[in-house]
Amino acid sequence: MHEAFLRLVDSEVSCESRAHFYAVAARVLRLILVDYAKASGRKKRSGGVERIPLDEAVMIGPELFSEIIELDDALKLVAEQDARKAEIINLIFFGGLTYDETAQALDISDVTVHRELKMAKSFLYAQLSRTVAANS
């Protein structure tokens, strides 16, 4: 969260509303999470033990880094197919917005958010299932 705050403060992005701020913050948080997963996957671990300062401890562990990168790749595919569906996922799952706030940020109805999120989840599930099958 600290890194996200610093990136937002240092950026020259002007937020038009509270919902727009959350959209930008969600995108920044996703990028930080993916960057961290990629960087951690490249580091060599000595002795099987990795020291993590308390302020850097996150809810995910090294065993999930590859899955985060796979999820990011799948989200990029969703964005290629339908940018709004990808934005809905970013706002809800990375930004923590409610369905109402997401609808307001994207200027669409709550029903549209529900419908498009359901379709996006199905697409993600199919993409991630293919990735798991290919890696098995």
| CA–CA gap between residue 107 and residue 121 (Å, rounded) | 21
At 98-111, the pLDDT tens digits run 999 899 888 999 99
4-29: average pLDDT: 67
Q: How far is CA 135 from CA 30, 44, 87, 108, in A?
A: 24, 22, 28, 38
**Does 27 or 105 have the greater pLDDT score?**
105
What's the chain's average pLDDT? 75
- Rounded to two decimals, the pTM is 0.61
